[in-house]
């Protein structure tokens, strides 16, 4: 989880390769949730997430330039809610996918929105939905030690760049991830 927080706080999420969504298998969700909080993530309430969604995009659907590169603390204040001063990243849990949801769009802010799935197959389906929503196949990062999962993602997902166990923003600008899949 440290890599995800590092990525989203590097340049306050401006690099488009940074994590836009986190997909977590149900079996490790509670552990991931606790670790993200320990690393400085604030899980927004539904009301806070609605305020953030209204702030992220302009009425024409483009990103609000006033939010780009701002800190999580500043964004929460702009949206009209308070978070602890130690907050580094804002997270809004999303259980369903909708292509027009501003929380699932590309964001140049230190925020990400996890989508919890029940198993690998469902998680894989959600990954494809997210990758094809805006700008087909930009970047995918996988945080796992399971070589079979890595191989499956590397060989089957519609994406141009796959990073393994590294902050996506840093890997997206050239940090080597040292993994080359074999068939």
Residues annotated as catalytic are 16
DSSP the chain: -HHHHHHHHGGGG-STTS-SEEEEEGGGHHHHHHHHHHTTEEE--HHHHHHHHHHHB-TTSSB-TTTTT--HHHHHHHHT----TT--EEE----S--TT-GGGS--SSSEEEEEEESSHHHHHHHHHHHHHHSSTT-EEEE--S-HHHHHHHHHHSS-SEEEESS-HHHHHTT---------
């Amino acid at each position: 989880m440290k890599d995800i927080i590092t990525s989203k706080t590097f340049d306050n999420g401006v690099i488009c390769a940074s994590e836009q969504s986190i997909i977590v298998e149900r079996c490790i969700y509670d552990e991931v949730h606790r670790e993200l909080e320990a690393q400085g993530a604030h899980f927004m309430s539904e009301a806070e997430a609605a305020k953030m969604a209204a702030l992220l995009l302009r009425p024409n659907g483009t990103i609000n330039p006033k939010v780009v590169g701002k800190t999580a603390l500043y964004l929460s204040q702009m949206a009209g809610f308070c978070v602890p001063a130690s907050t580094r990243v804002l997270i809004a849990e999303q259980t369903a996918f909708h292509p027009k949801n501003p929380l699932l769009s590309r964001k140049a802010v230190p925020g990400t929105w996890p989508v919890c799935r029940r198993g690998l197959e469902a998680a894989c389906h959600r990954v494809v939905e997210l990758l094809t929503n805006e700008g087909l196949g930009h970047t995918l990062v996988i945080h796992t030690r399971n070589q079979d999962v890595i191989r499956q993602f590397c060989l089957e997902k519609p994406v141009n760049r796959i990073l393994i166990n590294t902050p996506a923003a840093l890997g997206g600008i050239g940090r080597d991830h040292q993994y080359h899949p074999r068939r």
